[in-house]
Copies of this chain bind each other. A is one copy, B any other.
Amino acid sequence: MQLNDRQDYDLAYMLKFENVAWYENGKVKILDRRIYPIRVEHVICKTYKDVAKSIKDMVTQSEGPYTAAAMGMVLAFYEAENLNNDELYYFMEKAAYELSHARPTTSEQMSGIVNGSLEVLKKCLDNNLERKKILDKLFEYAYNYVNNNYKKYSIIGRNLAKIIPDNGSIMTQCFAGTVVGTMLRECKKMNKNIKIYCAETRPYYQGARLTASVAKDMGFDVTVISDNMPAYTIKTKKIDLFTSASDVITMDGYIVNKVGTFQIALAAKYFNIPYYVTGTPDEKHKTIDSVTIEKRDPKLVLESLGQKITMDGVNGYYPAFDITPPDLCTGVVTDKGIFSPYNLKEYN
């Protein structure tokens, strides 16, 4: 196997490839991000169907499902070892469909990854490679997929790290995925000593559970606050910069991200500190009008870690994301540099 230099060096435990999604000896293991770090447990998948179920059940999230799908294709191939080539290809197409459609909203992007696996498979079969070699090639593909993504996140992380003042304090919202790790790794390389304040991000606490854990794991001074504290904390703790990831950045400069981002951006503006979003402007969304904000099960805001917090008959409202207008955003930090939200056409 030819594996390029691992891009997860010096990152936190949960960002190590083996803990994102990893194929080895007929199994895919996935760190269970639903409960991490309260409990550190991996889901062990023995079939590609187990992997699809894990994606569906949100065992992993953010960029995790994409890697899991690619690793799931390796496992599917392992399961199919006794099938002839025709049966094998049919089985693998079925696996590709099930893995990519485990969650409806991301099936298009997911299809891109698993179709890549199918192409690798086809080429190998055309060249009559022995089965053991084909498995290696499929693993290589999955590995390179995640490794190349990490390389891209390293560039975004570096671009963000450059603008954080030394001895500065930053505030985060939710979990910005691998970029949190690469940004902190770059800060270390630059010998920047920084403090991180994480809004806990109800109802799932991704800020407290994931962002804070990654920062702590990597040796940083990290503080969790409840979601009602960002504005006051920006003032009292003299926060220098607010940053978040994005689910969508529209071409007209609006940021769709985990609900709460908007009101922290409002507070940042009030105190005249910058808000930098990480991500890539989305050509599919020319304007914010094309974005539909997903509403999740209202029951989820009426409980915490499965325990009810209010009276029966009280309603819940759970918009998963909110919208931050361009006038509240200082810059969009991408792999190609930092852009004004008013000038995103320049990205391409």
Contacts and interface: CB of A to CB of B under 8 A. Distances in A.
Contact of A314 (B222, B229, B317): B222
Given A308-B38, A309-B38, A310-B208, A317 B223 contact: yes
A263 interface: yes
A interface: dominant SS: mixed
A259 B229 contact: yes
A301 B200 contact: yes
Given A263-B267, A310-B208, A197 B317 contact: yes
A314 B232 contact: no
A26 B198 CA distance: 50
A227 interface: yes
A310 B228 contact: no
A37 B311 contact: yes
Interface in A174-202: 197, 199-202
Nearest to A228: B260
A315 interface: yes
A263 B311 contact: no
A306 to B, nearest CB: 10
Contacts of A259: 226, 228-229, 232
Contacts of A215: 314
A84 to B, nearest CB: 49
A170 interface: no
Given A224-B314, A267-B266, A302-B208, A309 B229 contact: no
Given A227-B228, A270-B266, A233 B317 contact: yes
Interface string A267-304: 10010000000000000000000000000000001101
A305 interface: yes
Interface residues of A, number: 58
Contacts of A224: 301-302, 309-310, 314-317
Contacts of A104: none
B319 A232 contact: yes
B228 A307 contact: no
B223 A314 contact: yes
A262 interface: yes
A341 interface: no
Nearest to A210: B310
Given A202-B202, A226-B227, A221 B267 contact: no
Closest CB pairs A-B (n = 3): A228-B260, A231-B263, A202-B226
Interface of A: 37-38, 173, 197, 199-203, 205, 208-209, 212-213, 215-217, 221-233, 236-237, 258-260, 262-263, 266-267, 270, 301-302, 304-305, 307-311, 313-319, 322-323
19 contacts: A37-B311, A202-B226, A203-B226, A208-B314, A212-B310, A213-B311, A216-B314, A222-B314, A224-B310, A224-B315, A229-B317, A229-B319, A231-B263, A232-B262, A233-B319, A263-B263, A266-B267, A304-B305, A305-B309
